């Protein structure tokens, strides 16, 4: 090409470049997943089917519904076209694996719980969905499908964790979801948190009713109308079970299970002053407290799940911060699934093969086919919940993020590998929850991480050394106790570097701290900047069980 042609080509490119608006150029850029594919996220519901030992569905706290037809080797999202991603319950029709029910709205009511918009059904194995009602029941906790009649379904739903609602309780349909009866409702602050249907006689159904109210700074769990309700007509009418060995006074969250091998054997995990696990051997007529071991329900408002081996009514599983099992009817429990993760929220046991189990937890899911001797914990679900993203000032620049209960990670935005950014390019810079992950603008080899309640860590990503650098800590008690340290820390205590002086780093509880040496020494530079409302600073929860300080309020959420 001659000189004239070169000039013409240059002018043409210049004109095209000038004519293309910047916004349009960025709009054409597609999103791509860059990882880290090293951690999962909270799975709030699991389901399998006796007909196909390769088929599973999982519902997630914020990532929709996923399906595997390869026994967990690979997964595909099947709910992305719907309007919500928070899932509370999943169930497969016991007679037809193509019929799947999904209840939206996560029912683990932390202060950042996400709501749903009703109940959905798929009749083609998750390819398409239709909403079949319960739109105002924002949190659906359990779906029980009659193993003999797929048109008979009972649903437990909580109307609203944050305000009064007429939608909480249980719902029943006998026509496959075309019409619903709101058959059990006890009050605007209460809702259905569990249902258990007797497989041998689906006319017998038990429901757990729970009064709960969430505010930004605390919650209340338990009320006078809470308790176990029983139906003998498939969920059409209900009778409250009281006395006869059940705990007296108010109760909170309830988890229920009926033994498939014996419909008279019923287990109930109950938030109560009088114990933790109750058992009935005569269909709920009388009960006995069989365990007060907190292992099986450490944080009742967040866990409270129990399930029974389909072939052995004395073999019981309980899910809480750890998974546990009992082989003597609930009297003693021991930990199982060690090394999988923590914080368990869902379990499904194959009715025709009780050794095949899937569980859901904050790290994803885990499978066993030998009754729990060996667990497969594959982190192959891209459902991690990222708190925030931080970037460094280097070339290539690094991207950092903290994942809910799945550590804090950093990786270069360009791995200089033609295959892209791989798992090997991500480095773990802190464990637990990594809410704030901020690279040092002066030397990006240093990264400041907050892993809950202002527990700051300084990490050198090149040498992999790390130091705890939290302000005001002089002893272990001060790490969390504001009464000792005089400082209140939020679960997500912020970090920022001063824009006019990148050598200065700030952190904040209810006051602001400043450091000029990457957190080795701190000085307080502000008074209390919160409203300092004393009633908002008491331990959250009650009146039965008080929760951890993860709910602390009257704190600073951001500083910049």
In this structure, what token pair is assigned to residue 356?
Answer: 């095949």
Cα atoms found within 13 Å of the Cα of residue 317, Cβ hemisphere only: 24
In 10 A of CB 522, how many CB atoms? 20
Cα atoms found within 13 Å of the Cα of residue 70, Cβ hemisphere only: 8
Q: Are 141 and 192 in contact (CB under 8 A)?
A: yes
Whether pLDDT at 441 is above 50: yes
* List of residues 6+ apart from 268 with CB closer than 8 A: 206, 208, 228, 254, 255, 256, 277, 278, 279, 280, 287, 306
Which of 524, 525, 533, 535 is closest to 555 using CA atoms?
533
Each residue's pLDDT tens digit, 239-279: 999 999 999 999 999 999 999 999 999 999 999 999 999 99
pLDDT of residue 479: 60
Q: Are 264 and 283 in contact (CB under 8 A)?
A: yes
In this structure, what token pair is assigned to residue 182?
Answer: 């709101």
pLDDT of residue 23: 66
Q: Helix, strand or coil for residue 35?
A: coil
Which of 546, 545, 504, 511 is closest to 526 using CA atoms?
511
Mean pLDDT in residue range 469-484: 69
Q: Helix, strand or coil for residue 246?
A: coil
Mean pLDDT in residue range 424-437: 92
Confidence of residue 26 (pLDDT cuts 50, 70, 90): confident
Confidence of residue 59 (pLDDT cuts 50, 70, 90): very high
Which of 538, 446, 558, 407 is closest to 493 using CA atoms?
558
Mean pLDDT in residue range 46-50: 97
**Could you give the CA distance from residue 84 to residue 139 in angstroms, rounded to a whole number?**
12
In 10 A of CB 519, how many CB atoms? 21
**Could you give the CA distance from residue 308 to residue 311 in angstroms, rounded to a whole number?**
8
What burial class does residue 237 get, using C-beta atoms within 10 Å of its C-beta: 0-12 exposed, 13-18 middle, 19+ buried?
A: middle
Whether pLDDT at 325 is above 50: yes
In 10 A of CB 372, how many CB atoms? 16
Q: Are 304 and 269 in contact (CB under 8 A)?
A: yes
Confidence of residue 453 (pLDDT cuts 50, 70, 90): confident
In this structure, what token pair is assigned to residue 62?
Answer: 């914020």
Nearest 5°: CA angle at 491, between 273 and 89?
A: 60
Q: Percentage helix, strand, coil, to 5, in the chain?
A: 10, 35, 55
Place of tokens 């519901």: 45
Return the C-alpha torsion angle 487, 488, 494, 498, nearest 10: -30
- The CA distances from residue 536 to 483, 517, 551, in Å, are 14, 34, 10
**Could you give the CA distance from residue 128 to residue 73 in angstroms, rounded to a whole number?**
23
* List of residues 6+ apart from 17 with CB closer than 8 A: none
* List of residues 6+ apart from 424 with CB closer than 8 A: none
Whether pLDDT at 542 is above 70: yes
DSSP readout, 98-122?
T-EEEEES-----TT------EEEE
CB < 8 Å & 24+ apart, contacts of 454-461: 454/487, 454/489, 454/490, 454/493, 454/507, 454/509, 455/479, 456/493, 456/495, 456/507, 456/519, 457/429, 457/430, 458/518, 458/519, 458/520, 459/429, 459/430, 461/398, 461/410, 461/427, 461/429
**Could you give the CA distance from residue 306 to residue 265 in angstroms, rounded to a whole number?**
13
| Total residues belonging to the chain | 560
Confidence of residue 473 (pLDDT cuts 50, 70, 90): low
Tell me, rounded to whole angstroms, the distance of Cα 356 from its chain centroid. 23
Nearest 5°: CA angle at 457, between 456 and 459?
A: 150
pLDDT of residue 550: 74
Each residue's pLDDT tens digit, 164-210: 999 999 999 999 999 999 999 999 999 999 999 999 999 999 999 99
Which of 532, 533, 542, 538 is closest to 552 using CA atoms?
538
Whether pLDDT at 7 is above 50: no
Which of 178, 147, 137 is closest to 263 using CA atoms?
147
Each residue's pLDDT tens digit, 132-165: 999 999 999 999 999 999 999 999 999 999 999 9
């Amino acid at each position: 090409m001659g000189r004239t042609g070169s000039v013409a080509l240059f002018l043409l490119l210049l004109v095209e470049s000038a004519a293309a608006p910047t916004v349009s150029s960025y709009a054409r850029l597609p999103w791509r997943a860059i990882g880290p594919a090293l951690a999962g996220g909270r799975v709030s519901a699991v389901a399998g089917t006796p007909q196909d030992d390769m088929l599973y569905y999982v519902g997630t706290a914020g990532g929709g519904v996923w399906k595997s037809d390869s026994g967990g080797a690979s997964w595909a999202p099947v709910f992305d076209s719907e309007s919500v991603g928070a899932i509370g319950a999943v169930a497969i029709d016991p007679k037809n694996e193509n019929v799947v029910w999904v209840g939206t709205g996560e029912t683990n009511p932390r202060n950042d719980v996400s709501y749903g918009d009703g109940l959905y059904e798929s009749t083609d194995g998750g390819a398409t969905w239709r909403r079949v009602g319960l739109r105002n029941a924002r949190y659906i906790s359990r779906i029980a499908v009659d193993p003999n009649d797929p048109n008979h379904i009972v649903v437990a739903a909580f109307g609203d964790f944050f305000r009064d609602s007429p939608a909480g309780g249980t719902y029943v349909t006998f026509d496959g979801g075309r019409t619903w009866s709101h058959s059990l409702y006890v009050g605007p602050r209460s809702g259905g948190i569990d249902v258990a249907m007797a497989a041998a006689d689906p006319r017998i159904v038990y429901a757990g009713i729970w009064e709960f109210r969430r505010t930004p700074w605390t919650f209340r769990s338990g009320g006078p109308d809470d308790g176990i309700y029983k139906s003998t007509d498939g969920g059409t009418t209900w009778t409250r079970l009281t006395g006869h060995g059940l705990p007296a006074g108010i109760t909170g969250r309830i988890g229920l299970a009926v033994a498939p091998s014996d419909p008279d054997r019923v287990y109930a995990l109950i938030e109560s002053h009088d114990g933790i696990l109750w058992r009935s051997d005569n269909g709920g007529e009388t009960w006995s407290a069989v365990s007060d071991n907190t292992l099986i329900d450490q944080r009742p408002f967040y866990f409270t799940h129990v399930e029974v081996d389909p072939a052995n009514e004395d073999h019981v599983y309980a899910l809480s911060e750890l998974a546990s099992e009992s082989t003597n009817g609930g009297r003693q429990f021991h930990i199982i699934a060690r090394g999988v993760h923590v914080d368990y929220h869902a379990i499904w046991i194959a009715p025709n093969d009780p050794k095949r189990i899937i569980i859901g937890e904050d790290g994803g899911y885990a499978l066993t086919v030998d009754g729990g001797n060996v667990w497969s914990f594959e982190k192959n679900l891209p459902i991690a919940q990222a708190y925030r993203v931080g970037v460094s000032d280097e070339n290539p620049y690094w991207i950092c993020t903290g994942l809910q209960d799945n550590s804090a990670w950093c990786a270069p935005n360009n791995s200089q590998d033609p295959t892209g950014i791989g798992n090997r390019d991500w480095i773990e810079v802190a464990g637990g929850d990594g809410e704030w992950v901020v690279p040092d603008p002066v030397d990006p080899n240093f990264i400041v991480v907050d892993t809950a309640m202002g527990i700051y860590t300084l990490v050198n990503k090149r040498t992999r050394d790390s130091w705890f650098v939290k302000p005001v800590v002089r002893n272990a008690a001060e790490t969390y106790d504001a009464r000792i340290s005089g400082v209140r820390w939020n679960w997500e205590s912020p970090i920022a570097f001063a824009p006019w002086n990148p050598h200065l780093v700030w952190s904040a509880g209810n006051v602001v701290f400043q450091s000029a040496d990457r957190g080795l020494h701190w000085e307080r530079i502000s008074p209390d900047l919160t409203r300092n409302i004393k009633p908002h600073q008491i331990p959250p929860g009650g009146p039965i069980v008080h929760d951890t300080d993860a709910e602390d309020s009257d704190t600073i959420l951001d500083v910049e």
